[in-house]
Amino acid sequence: MAQERTVYSDLSFSGVSLDIAVFSPLPRGINEFILEAMMQGGEFSHIASDVRNFTKMVHWGMLTCSGATSMVQSQGEPLEFVPCGGPARLDGDTIVCDACNTAFSFIGSDFKNLRNIMFYLMLKQMVPDMRFCNFVDCSLTPESKRFAYDNPELEAIRSLGVVAVHRCLLYLSPGAEGVRHAGLGFMFAPEMRTRTKGLRKFGPWLQYLMCEWYNRIKASEDDTREFRYGPKPVRD
């Protein structure tokens, strides 16, 4: 009997980049008690605004996943995470991280739609089954020959939890050969296993996002599909 393969993502990784630049509005090493206080306080508007406008964002690092043609790993399995932790800023239509000396440019008209894309990435991370954008569930990454028990590299990947992804970036990093494609990855906070463990303490954050979604659709005259229902997910 063939061994069942784990589905880590709703991306096939066939014909698209395996690299994902992960960004968050919160710094690496965020204190658990601070997160609890944020959820209880319920003041999310400034955080959501920072995410939509891509201000005060942190480049957590670069995640690499396995491809659909891999004979060893299951589809989309997270293979490597290179942490950064530096502040990310917009320079014109480019995302720049000075800490790792990497610049990310947008493909086509995606920069013009950045506010809309970021809003739907926030929703997608909370409810991965929503039919816009894509996700990678890093919390399912197994122990293997690459990752021995209690390996800090494995724990660094698992701690990313669910990362929402939109395939829209090009980047050039030091030592890289030519320009490479990357996904724009978002997570609100680490350890958010929303696909397998539910919302846990993050219910108020999702409630805020759903209210925002309802209000922005109701109040807007923009009737385009991407505004109302988010960017289409990448499929084969």
Q: Return the domain boundaries, the chain.
A: 19-229
- For 25-44, what is each residue's pLDDT tens digit? 998 878 777 888 888 887 89
Give residue 205's pLDDT: 93
Q: What is the pLDDT of residue 149?
A: 59
Task: Dump pLDDT digits (tens) for 111-157.
Answer: 989 999 999 999 999 999 998 899 999 998 877 656 555 678 888 89
Q: What is the pLDDT of residue 97?
A: 95
Q: Which of 136, 165, 176, 186 is nearest to 26 (CA)?
A: 186
- How confident is the model over 166-189, as a mean pLDDT? 82
CA–CA gap between residue 180 and residue 175 (Å, rounded)? 12
Q: Report whether 185 contacts 161 (CB < 8 A).
A: no
- The sign of the CA dihedral 204, 209, 212, 213 is negative
- The angle at the Cα of 209, spanning 124 to 198, to the nearest 5 degrees, equals 55
Averaged pLDDT, 45-49: 93
